[in-house]
């Protein structure tokens, strides 16, 4: 049996002993960590979970690794400096004994025969004054590994966003003498009442696991008697919360979230005996308390891959959001060591392999089922919805930045570049509509058979809806919601269009045109509350056929034309990228007037977003976090530059068109570029 023992000391605390088993760790394709608790003799509840990155003050006591060298996989060999990281590893169970004077910990870990996660993290730079260094002595054999950690003094009071001002004459300040006269002065402006309330609500929504924060619940309404799954941590919903914490300088919860959701990635949940693809990230997870014998219980992370969700649809966008958040964490905190870890690199590659797998599809866009993204109910977006394509493109650009370059990743990077090139061409050429393009479609010829066909998808001009002819402005355009053979979904989907701007999926000219359209159609897309999730709503017979008569997605409600305040931060990010801060400020001021008095609802109803949604949850966390993120981005526009991408002109030179390789006629990419690109 491979074993590992660790002696760990807490500063000013007695030594503790923990028995740990890793055989069923999710890091090796099994369930995630459980945290055991018990009652000490004094009656106080004890939590015996180890967070080696934050709780322990490591001394020079070594821990010993023994066992055969073959357990370490190729991914570990590819790293430059091997090391161990305990804060993320999937520990399935822990047993312990409780003493009255000291707690001793003896860690015995069973290592699976195939390692998936071995960290190469050398230094964590979340806080320059609080970091750890890991040294490996003698490789990975039985030689001891010494872990050295340098911590701030526990007694130092941490005042966020503050500075120390010394009054009077100059003082000779040293570590021994301290400050004779000092006062703490807030370096930032005073928060308004609505911001104070929002921060309190956001912090109240934080979920802890093993004593550490790991996310925020979807909604935290004290008057809600039927929570359904709103008491869970959603990957999609947590993104604005994560950005709010990161922009405030609090990266711990985001790092914990990224690592714990990575633990859940390889679970093999089933729906009627079918398993999701390897690499799928869960839609959400819940921290559950499971009672054991005696006065003990354990905490477990219970993920939902769609097997419990309404409609039982796998969350395609979860892995894409996870990649985007991983990059944002590194950009804002400077802790790039997290994304360099082998376990994180492996998880990243698994998501990419799942998304880049060849299938029967002819298009570079991602083929998905209905309800696989923010619109998680039947709304006629199956096929190649714009939202998924924009997030997919963003995730690919993130991955290309973060992937460690080695022999094993070269093929993957090449595949990413090819897909980015093909996808950007596909969306820019075939999804874009403005007055000129609609007039072209209006005169399409059908039943064209050739590689030089203009109407490549056999779109019938009669598909152009009457509302669009009167609605599209002279100056402005947008990316349609979906494209398939003989089908164009001309609805305006806000999230997909905003992320097309943020990720530079659209050209600079197209990005400007999208914001021009939003400004021109402000009453339709913003109204009393930003922003419409889609426009226009499905009504009458169309609503009955496409939604299946969904009583929640009635016209101008919920996903069917409802207004979602959480889209505000993404709109702000897109506006800041394109230099349209006036539009973002206008939308933020509009939302600020009502959100607090309306108790932070999830969505608004009616054509102009005038009423709180009929089934809207109150105190919705991503509504709160989206508002806070918006405020911080507007106050610090330079931070926004860390979260978006500029045009990559090298991608425009890559052509992966199959026609160029077959010896047939020259592909139309050159002509298309001359028409769209500026």
| pLDDT over 60 at 504, yes or no | yes
Instruction: State whether residue 290 is helix, strand or coil.
Output: strand
**What percent of the chain has a predicted confidence (pLDDT) above 70?**
68
Q: What is the pLDDT of residue 266?
A: 63
C-alpha 128/C-alpha 564 separation (Å) is: 38
User: 432: pLDDT confidence band, cut at 50, 70 and 90?
Assistant: very high
Greatest alpha-carbon span in the chain: 87
* pLDDT tens-digit series, residues 376-389: 999 999 999 999 99
Q: Select from 15, 4, 8, 100 the least CA-distant residue to 52.
A: 8
Structure tokens belonging to residue 657: 């068109």
Q: What is the pLDDT of residue 670?
A: 55
| pLDDT over 90 at 128, yes or no | no
Q: What is the pLDDT of residue 471?
A: 96
3-state secondary structure 129-157: CEEEEEEECCCCCCCCEEEEEECCCCCCC
**Residue at token pair 């760790």:** 25
C-alpha 313/C-alpha 536 separation (Å) is: 25
User: Lowest mean pLDDT: which of 119-133, 186-200, 333-347, 463-477?
Assistant: 119-133
Average pLDDT over residues 97-120: 34
User: 329: pLDDT confidence band, cut at 50, 70 and 90?
Assistant: very high
Structure tokens belonging to residue 229: 């799954």
Q: Which residues pair with 63 in a beta bridge?
A: 145
Q: What's the whole-model pTM score?
A: 0.75
Q: DSSP character for 392? A: H
Q: What is the pLDDT of residue 631?
A: 97
User: 450: pLDDT confidence band, cut at 50, 70 and 90?
Assistant: confident
Average pLDDT over residues 121-145: 32
C-alpha 39/C-alpha 380 separation (Å) is: 53
Q: Which one is predicted more confidently, 227 or 393?
A: 393
Q: What is the pLDDT of residue 606?
A: 97
Average pLDDT over residues 644-658: 79
| pLDDT over 80 at 160, yes or no | no
User: 592: pLDDT confidence band, cut at 50, 70 and 90?
Assistant: very high
User: Lowest mean pLDDT: which of 23-32, 98-107, 216-225, 574-583?
Assistant: 98-107
Backbone CA torsion sign across 84, 86, 87, 88: positive
Instruction: Find the DSSP H helices in 313-385.
Output: 316-333, 337-340, 342-355
The angle at the Cα of 83, spanning 81 to 87, to the nearest 5 degrees, equals 140
Q: What is the dihedral of CA 270, 276, 282, 286, to 10 degrees?
A: 10
| pLDDT over 50 at 178, yes or no | no
* pLDDT tens-digit series, residues 257-311: 999 999 998 656 666 777 777 899 999 999 999 998 888 889 999 999 888 878 8
Q: What is the pLDDT of residue 155?
A: 39
Q: What is the pLDDT of residue 73?
A: 40
Q: What is the pLDDT of residue 654?
A: 75
Q: What is the mean pLDDT of the chain?
A: 77
Name every residue whose Cβ is closer than 8 Å to that of residue 278 and which is 6 or more positions away in sequence: 266, 350, 353, 354
Distances (CA, A) of 331 to 215, 324, 337: 20, 11, 11
User: 212: pLDDT confidence band, cut at 50, 70 and 90?
Assistant: very high
- Determine how β-strand 206-209 pairs with β-strand 611-612: unpaired
DSSP 449-513: -STT-SSTT---GGGS-HHHHHHS-SS-EEEEEEEETTEEEEEEEHHHHHHHHHTT-S-HHHHHH
C-alpha 567/C-alpha 660 separation (Å) is: 41
95 and 48 Cβ atoms separated by less than 8 Å: no
Q: Which one is predicted more confidently, 447 or 130?
A: 447
Neighbouring CB atoms inside 10 A of 47's CB total 12
């Amino acid at each position: 049996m491979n074993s590992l023992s660790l002696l760990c000391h807490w500063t000013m605390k007695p030594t503790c002993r923990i028995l740990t088993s890793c055989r069923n760790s999710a890091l090796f394709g099994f369930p995630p960590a459980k945290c055991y608790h018990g009652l000490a003799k004094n009656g106080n509840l004890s939590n015996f979970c180890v967070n080696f990155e934050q709780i322990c003050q490591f001394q020079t006591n070594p821990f010993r690794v023994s066992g055969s060298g073959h357990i370490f996989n190729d991914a570990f060999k590819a790293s430059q400096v091997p090391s161990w990281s305990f804060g993320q590893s999937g520990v399935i169970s822990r047993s312990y004994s409780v003493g009255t004077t000291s707690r001793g910990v003896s860690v015995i870990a069973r290592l699976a025969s195939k390692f998936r996660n071995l960290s190469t993290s050398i230094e964590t730079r979340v806080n320059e004054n609080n970091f750890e260094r890991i040294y490996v002595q003698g490789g990975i054999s039985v030689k001891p590994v010494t872990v050295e950690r340098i911590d701030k003094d526990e007694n130092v009071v941490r005042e966020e966003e503050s500075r120390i001002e010394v009054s009077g004459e100059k003082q000779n300040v040293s570590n021994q003498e301290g400050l004779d006269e000092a006062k703490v002065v807030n370096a930032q402006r005073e928060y308004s009442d609505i911001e104070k309330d929002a921060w309190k609500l956001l912090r109240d929504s934080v979920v802890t696991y093993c004593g550490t924060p790991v996310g925020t619940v979807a909604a935290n309404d004290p008057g809600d008697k039927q929570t359904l799954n709103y008491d869970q941590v959603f990957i999609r919903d947590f993104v604005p919360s994560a950005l709010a914490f990161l922009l405030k300088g609090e990266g711990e919860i985001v790092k914990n979230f990224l690592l714990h959701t990575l633990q859940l990635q390889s679970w093999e949940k089933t729906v009627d005996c079918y398993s999701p693809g390897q690499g799928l990230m869960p839609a959400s997870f819940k921290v559950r308390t499971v009672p054991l014998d005696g006065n003990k219980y354990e905490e477990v992370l219970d993920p939902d891959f769609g097997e419990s969700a309404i409609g039982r649809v796998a969350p395609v966008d979860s892995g894409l959001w996870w990649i985007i958040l991983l990059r944002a964490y590194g950009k804002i905190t400077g802790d790039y060591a997290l994304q360099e870890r082998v376990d994180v690199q492996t998880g990243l590659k698994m998501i990419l392999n799942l998304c880049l797998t060849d299938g029967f599809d002819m298009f570079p866009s991602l083929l998905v089922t209905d309800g696989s993204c923010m619109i998680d109910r039947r709304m006629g977006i199956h096929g190649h919805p714009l939202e998924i394509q924009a997030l997919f493109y963003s995730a690919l650009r993130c991955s290309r930045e973060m992937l460690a370059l080695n022999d094993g990743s070269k093929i993957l990077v090449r595949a990413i570049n090819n897909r980015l090139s093909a996808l950007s061409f596909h969306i820019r050429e075939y999804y874009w509509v403005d007055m000129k393009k609609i007039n072209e479609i209006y005169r399409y010829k059908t039943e064209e058979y050739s590689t030089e066909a203009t109407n490549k998808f056999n779109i019938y001009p009669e598909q152009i809806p009457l509302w669009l002819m009167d609605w599209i402005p002279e100056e402005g355009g947008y990316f349609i919601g979906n494209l398939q053979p003989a089908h164009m979904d001309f609805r305006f989907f806000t999230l997909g269009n905003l992320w097309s701007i943020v990720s530079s999926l659209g050209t600079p000219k197209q990005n400007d045109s999208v914001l021009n359209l939003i400004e021109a159609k402000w009453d339709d897309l913003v109204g009393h509350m930003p922003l419409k999730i889609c426009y226009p709503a499905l009504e009458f017979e169309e609503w009955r056929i496409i939604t299946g008569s969904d009583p929640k997605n009635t016209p101008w409600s919920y996903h069917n034309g409802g207004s979602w305040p959480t889209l505000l931060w993404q709109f702000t990010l897109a506006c800041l990228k394109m230099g349209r801060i006036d539009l973002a400020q206008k939308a933020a001021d509009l939302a600020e007037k009502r959100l607090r008095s309306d108790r932070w609802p999830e969505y608004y109803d009616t054509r102009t977003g005038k009423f709180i949604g009929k089934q809207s949850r109150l105190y919705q966390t991503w509504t709160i976090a989206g508002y806070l993120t918006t405020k911080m981005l507007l106050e610090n526009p330079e931070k926004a530059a860390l979260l978006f991408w500029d045009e990559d002109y090298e991608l425009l030179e890559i052509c992966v068109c199959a026609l160029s390789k077959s010896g047939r006629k020259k592909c139309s990419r050159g002509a298309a570029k001359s028409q769209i690109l500026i």
